[in-house]
Amino acid sequence: MTKSRIAAIDVGNDALKGNYGKLENEYYIPNVVAPDLEDRPVIGIEELDTKEVLDNIHIRIHSPALSENNIVYRVGNLATKTTNSEELDPGSSKSEEDQTLVMLLASLALDAVSSEAFKEKNGVYDALYTLGTGLPLREVKEGKDVGYRSRLLSSVHQVEFLVTPKHQGKKVNIKFDEVKVYPEGFAAYVNLIMDNDLKVINKELIDKQILIQDIGGLSTDIAVIRNRNVDDDKAQGFNIGVSESLEQIREEIRTRHGVELDSRRDVVDIITRKNDRNHIMVKGSRTNVHDITDHILLEIAKKEYRYLRNVWSKNSQTEICYFVGGGSAVLKDYIKAINNKMDGYNIEFFEDESESIWMMANAYYKLITDFVQKNEKNEENKKEEKVEKEENTTKAK
């Protein structure tokens, strides 16, 4: 019998972040897809297997959960190199987009063929997963997590690797033993207070009333945590993130400098990297684009700050707000500057940007591991009770 493998996946609007098994595998894949031909042309096809797998994900997906079935896709870095690449649009719901499932299933298939968890038979892997993932607070409050979970659980999803290094021709049949869909704000709270062994590490936060503002690509969630739980009535989700601003920067750079950036990911790199921040190469010359990035990011930072002020005013006994998510890493300096000039709220950012970006995936891993461990313990207790009952029956005879 195939043993179910843990997967904890955050399909962020900017990128997918995933932890698998006992953390022996992790993937960071830009959330970009592009419909493609089955036999994509490759220069030096005989050297395909020497190329980086994550830069060349080329798959066909067959799944009843998709509205467009049996489509061939380029995924991640490979998709950014095409003219028909697709990123999630502002206003879209993560739970209802095919792209969310394409990214999730592609990463699971990669894990299945690269780990030793599942045996191959005639080029086919039958993979079984216990999945922990999440959705924005707004979508969970609207009940969209139920349909999302059902789409995953009710089908077998097949991913076939086409022109992909090391995995060409392999097929993976993915089934889910269990799927847990967590609200993103609560997940961030869990990550703040627990380590990977599920031990409490920040005891001082446990009984505080705190806010967690999660700024993503397409949405912003502000979770109000009191008495160790998300206050569903007070928590708010806003249909705005940094993606639109990144697109504006990308367009202005193209218009003003004639430089075509492949994706939003390139824009994020320009404005967050440690060396040569806010610089691009124009016709071989290092060029400062700070004037472009500055005014656009300041505008979105002001909007995010207004959300904070609005929620804090309705929850006046809040002690601190933590900013998390990829959007927070982009806007950190701007929000700090606005706060210093204005209200001076007690706010906290993560200086390690990767910690903020990976926070959701790490939280889902802790939550799904806890679920599995409790399940296993319950099963053991049931077996012990059964044995005890049988022994008592034998004695009675």
DSSP output for 13-81: SSEEEEEETTTTEEEEEES-EEE--SS---TTGGGGGGS-GGG-EEEEEE-TTSSS-SEEEEEGGGGGG
Lowest average pLDDT, out of 22-26, 64-68, 198-202, 387-391, goes to 387-391
CB 79 within 8 A of CB 7: no
Rounded alpha-carbon distances, angstroms, from residue 330 to 217, 321, 333: 10, 17, 8
**276 assigned to some structural domain:** yes
- Residues 120-131, mean pLDDT to the nearest whole number: 95
pLDDT at 45: 62
243-260: per-residue pLDDT in tens?
A: 899 999 999 999 999 999
Both tokens of residue 195?
A: 């380590």
- Burial (CB count within 10 angstroms: exposed 0-12, middle 13-18, buried 19+), residue 189: buried
Inside any domain, residue 40: yes
Report the pLDDT value the prediction gives residue 91, as an integer from 0 to 100. 67
Tokens encoding 224: 């109000």
Specify whether 160 is located in the same domain as 250. Answer: no
129 and 261 share one domain: no
Regarding whether 153 and 65 lie in a shared domain, the answer is: yes
pLDDT for the residue numbered 397: 58
User: Please, are residues 76 and 20 in contact by the beta-carbon 8 Å criterion?
Assistant: no
Residue 198 in any domain: the answer is: no
Residue-wise pLDDT for 349-381, tens only, equals: 877 777 778 888 999 999 999 899 998 888 788
- Residue 174 and residue 65 share a domain: yes
Report the SS3 class of residue 186: helix
pLDDT of residue 286: 92
Would you say 312 and 221 are in contact if contact means Cβ atoms under 8 Å apart?
Answer: no
State how far the Cα of 328 lies from the Cα of 214, in Å rounded to an integer.
7
The confidence score (pLDDT) of residue 131 equals 98
Residue-wise pLDDT tens digits, 262-290:
888 889 889 988 888 889 999 999 999 99
- 251 is in which domain, residue-wise? 246-292
Asked if residue 107 belongs to a domain, the reply is yes
Evaluate if residue 46 carries a pLDDT over 70. no
The verdict on residue 163 lying in a domain is yes
268 shares a domain with 173: no
Q: What pairing do the DSSP bridges indicate for beta strands 347-348 and 320-324?
A: parallel
Identify which has the larger pLDDT, 208 or 255: 255
Residues 163 and 35 in one domain: yes
Please report which residue ranges of the chain form alpha helices under DSSP H: 98-114, 137-141, 144-153, 184-193, 203-206, 243-257, 264-272, 290-314, 326-341, 353-357, 359-396
Give pTM, 2 decimals.
0.85
Query: Is the model's pLDDT at 152 over the cut of 70?
Result: yes
Residues 22 and 171 occupy one common structural domain: yes
State both tokens at 54.
């994550």
Chain mean pLDDT for the chain: 88
User: Is residue 335 in a domain?
Assistant: no
Instruction: Tally the domains of the chain.
Output: 2
Residue 395 belongs to a domain:
no
44 and 175 part of one domain: yes
Confidence of residue 227 (pLDDT cuts 50, 70, 90): confident
Q: Is residue 32 domain-shared with residue 172, that is, in the same domain? A: yes
Residue 174 lies in a domain: yes
Domain stops at, among 261, 292, 323: 292
Give the model's confidence band at 93: pLDDT under 50 very low, under 70 low, under 90 confident, else very high: confident
Q: Which of 292, 327, 350 finishes a domain? A: 292
Candidates 217, 226, 288, 221; CA nearest to 259 is: 288
With pLDDT > 90 as the criterion, what percentage of the chain qualifies? 56
CATH number of the CATH domain containing 104:
3.30.420.40
- Residue 396: is its pLDDT beyond 70? no
DSSP 94: G
Task: Assess whether 175 and 269 both reside in one domain.
Answer: no
Number of CB atoms found within 10 A of residue 166's CB: 15
Q: Are residues 101 and 20 in the same domain?
A: yes
Residue 389 pLDDT grade (very low, low, confident, very high; cuts 50, 70, 90): confident
Q: What is the pLDDT of residue 166?
A: 92
Q: What percent of the chain has pLDDT over 70?
A: 97
The residue among 156, 182, 208 that closes a domain is: 182
Is the per-residue pLDDT at 313 higher than 90?
A: yes
pLDDT tier for residue 240 given thresholds of 50, 70 and 90: confident
What number is the average pLDDT over the span 123-147? 92
Q: Are residues 126 and 274 in the same domain?
A: no
- The conformation of residue 304, written as its DSSP 8-state character, comes to H
